[in-house]
């Protein structure tokens, strides 16, 4: 029994080492990904909830790994944060998104995700200003999406950085709203332009009738505070029909368009254009 225990422990150690090794290797590879041109932004449309017209595209990063294929940001953004690569990647994202938006046929906004550690480590207002100037893009074409976790480590600094972005004319969105546990208090810390209701709510729409009540209450709360409200993760016509009852400003989800490397007009948009 004792031997088996030791063997188990040794096996455990070996697999831990293998995992650590794999992570180090991925970190190593990620550190060269920008120079090797392996990072790419996909764009997903965000539409006006009343007219269905596209208003914004959210930039979502992908890593085209030579062996693993397309790696999800859910996998490599946390790695980038731990390996101190997030500042470089974040700067690349802002630059690339602004350069893309400057070439678009219409003045759609571009929405960029900024992770909490990037918010602390780099001067996001300076990066945004440089990217906007370089591409002759109006500041109000840029939206920065952050999650409430940005307030956890240094709330005063977060509010200061947000205020600077606001003074520049950049729009500010509170992402994944309702998924944390203290969302309400963060609405008092800074007046965002919009909140994006976390997609977990829409996913649970069919499961419980309370979900619709909660989504409705969040939308009302946002509107009563003078904020725009976006609902994320709308995948089906059934969900759309239910959500239509609630007066959202914007909607986002596979129903309107999946993230894609180039701007795409979806079936939904084509139907709207024909109507």
Minimal distance in Å, beta carbon 126 to ligand C2E?
17
For the purposes of burial, counting CB atoms within 10 Å of the CB of 6, is it exposed (0-12), middle (13-18) or buried (19 or more)? Answer: exposed
- Considering only 38, 53, 73, 140, the residue that binds ligand C2E (CB under 6 A) is 73
Contact positions toward Ca ion, by CB under 5 A?
113, 145, 175-176
Minimal distance in Å, beta carbon 240 to ligand C2E?
11
Minimal distance in Å, beta carbon 10 to ligand C2E?
37
**SS in 3 state form for 18-82?**
HHHHHHHHHHHHHHCCCCCCCEEEEEEEEEECCCCCEEEEEEEEEEEECCCEEECHHHHHHHHHH
Please report whether residue 175 would count as binding ligand C2E according to CB under 6 A: yes
Which residue, 39 or 219, is less far from ligand C2E as judged by CB?
A: 39
Could you tell me the two tokens for 45?
A: 């449309």
- Segment 76 to 105, residues that bind ligand C2E, using CB under 6 A: 77, 93
What length does the chain have? 275
Half-sphere CA count of 157, side-chain side, radius 13 A: 14
Please report whether residue 180 would count as binding ligand C2E according to CB under 6 A: no
Minimal distance in Å, beta carbon 187 to ligand C2E?
18
Minimal distance in Å, beta carbon 61 to ligand C2E?
4
Please report whether residue 113 would count as binding ligand C2E according to CB under 6 A: yes
Give the distance, in angstroms, between the CA of residue 265 and the centroid of all CA atoms in the same chain.
Answer: 21
Please report whether residue 257 would count as binding ligand C2E according to CB under 6 A: no
Q: Which does residue 77 bind out of Ca ion, ligand C2E, none, counting CB within 5 to 8 angstroms by kind?
A: ligand C2E
Backbone CA torsion sign across 67, 72, 78, 83: positive
Backbone CA torsion sign across 157, 161, 167, 169: negative
Q: Which does residue 19 bind out of Ca ion, ligand C2E, none, counting CB within 5 to 8 angstroms by kind?
A: none
- Considering only 52, 169, 180, 259, the residue that binds ligand C2E (CB under 6 A) is 259
- Considering only 151, 233, 246, 248, the residue that binds ligand C2E (CB under 6 A) is 233
Matching residue, tokens 């100037």: 133
Backbone CA torsion sign across 174, 178, 179, 182: positive
- Considering only 33, 61, 218, 240, the residue that binds ligand C2E (CB under 6 A) is 61
């Amino acid at each position: 029994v004792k031997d088996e225990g030791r063997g188990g422990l040794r096996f455990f150690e070996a697999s831990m080492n293998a995992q650590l090794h794999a992570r180090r290797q991925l970190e190593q590879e990620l550190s060269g990904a920008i120079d090797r041109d392996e990072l790419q932004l996909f764009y997903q449309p965000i539409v006006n909830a009343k007219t269905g017209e596209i208003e914004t595209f959210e930039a979502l990063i992908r890593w085209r790994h030579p062996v693993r294929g397309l790696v999800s940001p859910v996998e490599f953004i946390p790695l980038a944060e731990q390996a101190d690569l997030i500042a470089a990647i974040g700067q690349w994202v802002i630059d690339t998104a602004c350069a893309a938006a400057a070439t678009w046929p219409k003045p759609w906004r571009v929405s960029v995700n900024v992770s909490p550690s990037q918010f602390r480590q780099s001067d996001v207002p300076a990066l945004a200003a440089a990217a906007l100037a370089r591409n002759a893009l109006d500041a109000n074409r840029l939206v920065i999406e952050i999650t409430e976790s940005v307030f956890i480590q240094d709330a005063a600094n977060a509010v200061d950085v947000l205020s600077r972005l606001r003074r520049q004319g950049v729009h500010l969105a509170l992402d994944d709203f309702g998924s944390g546990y203290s969302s309400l208090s963060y609405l008092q810390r800074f007046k965002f332009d919009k909140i994006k209701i976390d997609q977990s709510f829409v996913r649970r729409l069919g499961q419980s009738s309370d979900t619709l009540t909660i989504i409705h209450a969040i939308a009302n709360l946002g509107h009563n505070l003078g904020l725009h409200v976006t609902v994320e993760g709308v995948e089906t016509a059934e969900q759309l029909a239910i959500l239509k009852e609630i007066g959202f400003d914007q909607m986002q989800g596979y129903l309107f368009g999946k993230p894609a490397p180039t701007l795409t007009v979806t079936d939904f948009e084509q139907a709207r254009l024909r109507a």
